[in-house]
Structure 1
């Protein structure tokens, strides 16, 4: 394929040309291709056929074989005009093959409103070296259409409103130069659609309202130039879709309102430029869309209003570049951004998500979960391994934080503890101290459960040691004071403990040889209980006036009560000071 020429020269000679299949042409078209310095790059010869001879083949409903031919100023509009046919009438062509051919026109290579009645059509290896190309409103036969290895020197190529058959449609390895590539409202049939390694050049590319049907679609390693790439309202079927290693350059990439069908969509290792990327309102009925090691530029990335309720959207190892990223009001079954760099504002206010995976991410800006004008419904969130340099805007109650983390079955107790620790530090950093306490409590609870679980897994004999330790921590640190986050809880626990000790000091003298020397055993139970409460108070708070002292076994109870009283007072002081100082 000759694509790097600067100019060319065509000379029609009176010499016969014999094609590879034995066809004989009276004249030969000799074409020289030159570079900018007028140095000849290549010399090619083709069979020359006059356009009027092609028109006669159409008139006679004969097959048209233009393989290895040079065709000048071919235009079906001129054909209609010469035959007094209305300009938009369909021209029926029995069959058409133009492989390894050269098309040249001063204005337009016009195949518009043609109907190819054969099964297959091929322009493989053909060069459109001058003039725009118009295949609009064409019917390309019943099966395959081959435009592979084509070269469109004028990038203004129009296929809008055309229909393809049930076979493969391929533009593999074709090259479009600068201009508008228009595939609006094309119906590609049920076959495989191939744009592998296609170079679209600069200029807008439009697949608006294009119907790709149920065949597999591949834009693998395709390269788009600077310009808008628009697939607005395009429809895909059940086939897989690949944009793997596709380069989108700096224009806007528009996938708004695209119906992606039910296949697998692959954007792995694709490269997006600095333009906006929008998937707003797109739908995927069943399947997954993956962006593995994809590169994004500086434009806004919009995934708002997605309808992926039964489908997964997976980003892995992505650096989203500059520009905000939004999933606002989207419905996604699984949204994974595992191991991604979240360097800008991310809007995770999803209207439905069964699982949001933010594990091993690096957050340098704001990630936003706070509901605004609709309820944010995320069933499970995974923050394991997150490095939080920025902040998380989230509400413990409105976002049901405890449930989203604690009910996720495949994360370990240690991982859950780590996630609550991350949220604890986040809430503390933004001044949400009450919510910081809630996250800290869950962090300590899961940390203790993890320590117990890990000890038992290493050696079951550890149960004799670790269960009592766990029980003590559970009672003293959690139930008594919520890990020093609730002065009121500590105070309540102190009062209850004091009351329990008072009851013990009252009851024991009835069942044991023990007493309190300032209390008369002959008084009523109520009187003894009230006096015991006084004794219990000066013992619990270590006041010790000296007017009362225990005798017998109660001395051991009093020793324990004094220690416990000091402990509870210290516990309350810590919890109270923690609240006040913040």
Structure 2
């Protein structure tokens, strides 16, 4: 019974328990946040602990000097699990961290210069103030949202706008630092995703119904802040289809005869006319203007707006596409 009582009291949110011998504080050496781990032999001690199968989840390594440490689970498909671990201000420069699991951990202000973090899992990890210079980040999983994003949304639900604003500012800073580093490493596809996230966090900091925020949202919907040409294609198809429906009910002139949707006609005849309107919508959107169909009445206004929108959208697609392809 006394042996059980002397075990570490660590129990993380996912139910993992530490079975190491407890210090007088009730926690083992690694899970005790009050024990200083900045001494020189901490690397060898940690390596030995990891290799022996000790629970690495939730351990405290604040300000530890782990320069060049090898935390790769060699010859195994799954890396070591450092979920919930605290690496605040830890020196991990030059560390080998391939395939490591750092979900829900804290790397706040940690030094990852020249570290190898490829294939790591950093979902919901606190990345504020991390030094990324030279760090290898290929195939890293940052998750759909940063920890700060999740906290900001929770703060908004709790009616704490100032706290939410602070979290959004932190998230923007993290995405900006990551984006700059990804571009320096030549990872432009990752950089493109990160700049979308960065600008989205900046949008959330704007007043909710301001023109700036609405304009920013429109740019995001149109082209993903210049990083998603497929959005422009999708939007173009939507515009073409909607305008085709409008032409179906407002009418078009074909060889001197005004054609429009007529409930007295058969479904096949009305569908055939809709296909003709779809053709006319494509011609108008691309500003080809063959002249076989011409707008009448309200259709003229719709055609004018569509032609203007189409020329702008096509130009935007070319710019975004060239930008993506020249990286």
TM range (shorter): 0.5 to 0.7
Residue deviations 1:220-258, cap 9 Å, x none? xxxxxxxxxxxxxxx8643149xxxxxxxxxxxxxxxxx
RMSD: 3.9
Distance 2:89 2:127 in 1: 11
Residue of structure 2 aligned with 1:577, choices 313, 322, 325:
322
Partner residue, 1:260: 29
Query: SS at 1:521's partner residue?
Result: strand
Partner residue, 1:272: 40
Deviation at 1:580, TM superposition (A): 2.0
Deviation at 1:544, TM superposition (A): 3.6
Residue of structure 1 aligned with 2:302, choices 552, 557, 575:
557
Query: SS at 2:60's partner residue?
Result: strand
**Higher-RCO chain (CA-CA 8 Å, sequence separation at least 6):** 2
Residue of structure 2 aligned with 1:506, choices 229, 248, 259:
248
Deviation at 1:573, TM superposition (A): 0.7
Q: Given the two structures, how large is their TM-score scaled by the length of structure 1? A: 0.41
Partner residue, 1:424: 179
Deviation at 1:313, TM superposition (A): 0.8
Q: Given the two structures, how large is their TM-score scaled by the length of structure 2? A: 0.68
Instruction: Confirm or deny: 8 A CA contact 1:307 1:330 kept in the other structure.
Output: no
Deviation at 1:267, TM superposition (A): 1.7
Distance 1:431 1:496 in 2: 34
Instruction: Confirm or deny: 8 A CA contact 1:238 1:261 kept in the other structure.
Output: no
Matched, 1:313 2:56: no
Query: SS at 1:483's partner residue?
Result: coil
Structure number with higher helix proportion: 2
Distance 2:125 2:200 in 1: 19
Distance 1:555 1:519 in 2: 16
Query: SS at 2:257's partner residue?
Result: coil
Distance 2:309 2:320 in 1: 16
Partner residue, 2:109: 360
Partner residue, 1:401: 143
Query: SS at 2:324's partner residue?
Result: helix
Residue deviations 1:548-573, cap 9 Å, x none? 54343333222211221012102211
Matched, 1:525 2:270: yes
Q: 1:264 to 1:525 in 2, by over 3 A?
A: closer
Distance 1:484 1:540 in 2: 21
Residue of structure 2 aligned with 1:335, choices 77, 85, 95:
85
Deviation at 1:271, TM superposition (A): 4.8
Residue deviations 1:13-65, cap 9 Å, x none? xxxxxxxxxxxxxxxxxxxxxxxxxxxxxxxxxxxxxxxxxxxxxxxxxxxxx
Query: SS at 1:448's partner residue?
Result: helix
Distance 1:348 1:449 in 2: 34
Q: 1:305 to 1:392 in 2, by over 3 A?
A: farther
Which consecutive unaligned segments of at least 5 residues does structure 1 have? 1-212, 215-234, 242-258, 283-301, 457-462, 510-514
Structure number with higher strand proportion: 1
Partner residue, 2:202: 447
Q: 1:346 to 1:489 in 2, by over 3 A?
A: same
Residue of structure 2 aligned with 1:383, choices 103, 124, 127:
127
